[in-house]
Chain A
């Protein structure tokens, strides 16, 4: 689970809603769960709610790594056990 689709935020609407679209198909979704959403952002939408913002830099980095058949190394360092 779960089906969530990246869509572009075209307009902010009252009541923590936004008009989003994908390839010319548009819908109104809730953005109450994502802070400071701005027009032009891309968000993941699941059952009518935006759950996360897509980070364009990380998206580009991921794609570049894929094209090199490389792997993703996260910027944060966290606890590893060997």
Chain B
């Protein structure tokens, strides 16, 4: 697969790993947070931890929009799905996320709610067109990568005068979340640098990360999606730390530019506006971190259309998703991990989303816990 396989080359990995081992100063512990859940997944799937020296640690960040969705918002989606006239369209990732009282969209579907998994907003629009008797609601979730497609869908719905299409908007923004992490780092984990998200950056560019390098003096390397990208980015971060620099660098030059995708940004700005605040699982309420539809598009806003009540949501008190999302705890340090909370019986969102830290660790990496105990 072009532009994929070349960046998974094991021989080049060994070269990069050797260089990393030479450059990493044995007197320093390097703690890098990969913000994006896709990177968490790649690191686990390719076993990148095995290629890094012991003093280079990867900390999993909250860049998994499914993981940071508060339970209350899932409850609201389930409530929408249960309305008899509603067809709720959702990405697959959200089907099994637990709401309060052990409910989920998958369970609601089994009980008769019209929940349909879609790959794209294009599918949801198609359903609205071919089933005019149904109220089609699209469960819109995601960071800035996924938001432009939703914006386009809204504009398409408007152009086609679709009277039965709306979205339940849960789109969130990356820079406020990174800021939230950095501002709360006095609580716990020290982060020395960031592996910046690949495809969010393809949309927003690298400019939005400048404050984290400037204000917080943290190096940020915007990184590609493949494992060699991650290794190269780790090398770049180590270099910055060793040289006392803290700037924004772009490793993903083949897809990311300084200014990003202007058309996508314009689409988002046309359709969405900032919420004053939005609740994030684990990070609490962050100002100007979430999006809602502008008043001109109110007809497409499911929250207004169905007069949806804001639900508070209840999480399992022993669930450590919050601490894990901030990088303060590791999955194995949550008492529920592997016992009450498994991918089959997820109690928290970190376990259900395939790129949540807990799911990634369970699926690919938990054998290392036993190795650690054995040695």
Contacts and interface: CB of A to CB of B under 8 A. Distances in A.
Direct contact of A and B (CB under 8 A): yes
Interface in A1-22: 1-6, 8, 22
Nearest to A35: B263
A79 B267 contact: no
B130 interface: no
Contacts of B261: 33-34, 51-52
B338 interface: no
B281 to A, nearest CB: 15
Interface string B199-216: 110110000001001100
A51 B256 CA distance: 10
A79 B12 CA distance: 31
Interface in B106-124: 119-123
A30 B120 CA distance: 10
Nearest to A2: B145
A71 B210 CA distance: 20
Interface size for chain B: under 10, 10 to 19, 20 to 34, or 35 or more residues?
A: 35 or more
A82 to B, nearest CB: 7
A65 interface: yes
Contacts, number: 156
B152 A62 contact: no
Contacts of A52: 199, 202-203, 255-256, 261
A1 B65 contact: yes
Contacts of B182: none
Contact of A80 (B19, B197, B247): B247
A80 B202 contact: no
Pick from A1, A30, A56 the residue with the most CB of B within 10 Å. A1
A59 B228 contact: no
Interface in A53-69: 53-56, 58-59, 61-63, 65-69
A6 B120 contact: no
Given A6-B3, A72-B253, A47 B120 contact: yes
Nearest to A42: B3
B6 A2 contact: no
Contacts of A22: 1
A8 B231 CA distance: 26
Contact of A6 (B2, B15, B251): B2
Interface in B1-47: 1-4, 6-7, 12, 15-16, 18-19, 36-38
A65 B236 CA distance: 12
Contacts of B119: 47-48
Given A47-B91, A49-B149, A81-B214, 6 more contacts: A4-B202, A44-B202, A66-B231, A80-B245, A81-B213, A82-B244
9 contacts: A1-B146, A6-B3, A55-B254, A62-B224, A67-B15, A71-B251, A72-B251, A74-B253, A80-B247
In order of increasing CB-CB distance, the 10 nearest A-B pairs are A48-B120, A69-B19, A6-B3, A2-B145, A59-B254, A52-B202, A58-B254, A58-B253, A4-B199, A49-B149
Interface of B: 1-4, 6-7, 12, 15-16, 18-19, 36-38, 63-65, 91, 119-123, 142-143, 145-146, 148-149, 152, 197-200, 202-203, 210, 213-214, 217, 224-225, 228-229, 231-232, 235-236, 239, 244-251, 253-256, 258, 261, 263-264, 267, 355
